[in-house]
Amino acid sequence: MAWHVTLFNMMLAISCGYALKLGGPPERIVGGSLLIAALATALSFSPIASRFLNVEIGVLLTDLVLLVTLVVVAIHADRGWTLVLAGLQLDTVGAHFVKAINPQLLTVTYALMIAGWSYPMVILLAIGTHRHRRRLRARGYDPSWRLQDISPDASPS
């Protein structure tokens, strides 16, 4: 296994483990989603001989499901970092469309475009989890989700 894959897998395990054990609901959802997406991606690659020559459809589908999950979390979570994470995943999904539009795109370029944002994403999850823990220590609570006015007296103007 290449050193960068080993490094990423270690970072992923540490970051997601931290989020799953000590994070709030948004951190746990994102941590679990990143782990599932990493496993699904590893299982859906084309054979080595043809990898990245064309759009990796299995990886694209995995990335789309992860994007939807991250956008839903970002919309509802009371965490700014989730918006950044969803944006990074949108860039990753965009890379698949670049390959579809330009099939002559070098395989190494395509591979870097779909994998490159994974490193900052797991780092961002660890930072988000750390900040959650810090807010819990400082205030004793840390709301996970945005509050919406759902009172029965609220009526549209």
pLDDT at 147: 78
Other C-beta atoms closer than 10 Å to the C-beta of 86 total 21
**DSSP three-state, residue 77:** strand
pLDDT at 148: 60
- State pLDDT tens for residues 81-126: 999 999 999 999 999 999 999 999 999 999 999 999 999 999 999 9
Mean pLDDT across 69-92: 98
Mean pLDDT across 75-79: 96
Cα separation, 137 vs 69, in Å, equals: 28
pTM score above 0.85: yes
Mean pLDDT across 23-31: 98
Q: Is 31 buried (19+), middle (13-18) or exposed (0-12) by CB count in 10 A?
A: buried
